[in-house]
Amino acid sequence: MASTKIRCSSSDSVGITSGGGGTLTEFMAKGRASVGDDLTILFAHLQQACKRISSVVASPSIAADLAGLTSSGGGSTGRDVPKPLDLVSNDIILSSLKNSGKVAVVASEEDDAPVWMTDDGPFVVVTDPLDGSRNIDASIPTGTIFGVYNRLVELDHLPAEEKALLNSLQTGARLVAAGYVLYSSATILCASFGSGTHAFTLDRSTGEFFLTHRDIKIPSRGQIYSVNDARYFDWPEGLRRYIDTVRQGKGRFPKKYSARYICSLVADFHRTLIYGGVVMNPRDHLRLVYEANPLSFLVEQAGGKGSDGKCRILSIQPVELHQRLPLFLGSLEDMEELESYEDIQQKINPGYDV
Active site residues: 80, 86, 109-110, 128, 130-131, 291
CA distance 184 to 101: 30
Q: Give 207's Cβ-side CA count (13 Å radius).
A: 7
159: left (phi over 0), alpha (psi -120 to 50) or beta: beta
CB 306 within 8 A of CB 328: yes
In 3-state terms the chain splits into helix, strand, coil percentages (rounded to 5) of 35, 25, 40
150: left (phi over 0), alpha (psi -120 to 50) or beta: beta
Angle at 151 between CA 148 and CA 155, to 5 degrees: 145
CA distance 178 to 195: 11
From the list 318, 44, 231, 136, the residue with the least C-alpha distance to 296 is 318
From the list 241, 240, 234, 248, the residue with the least C-alpha distance to 352 is 234
262: left (phi over 0), alpha (psi -120 to 50) or beta: alpha
CB 131 within 8 A of CB 142: yes
CB 28 within 8 A of CB 35: yes
Angle at 200 between CA 197 and CA 202, to 5 degrees: 160
Instruction: State the alpha helices, DSSP H only, in the chain.
Output: 24-29, 37-58, 60-67, 84-100, 160-168, 237-247, 265-275, 293-301, 332-339
CB 56 within 8 A of CB 242: no
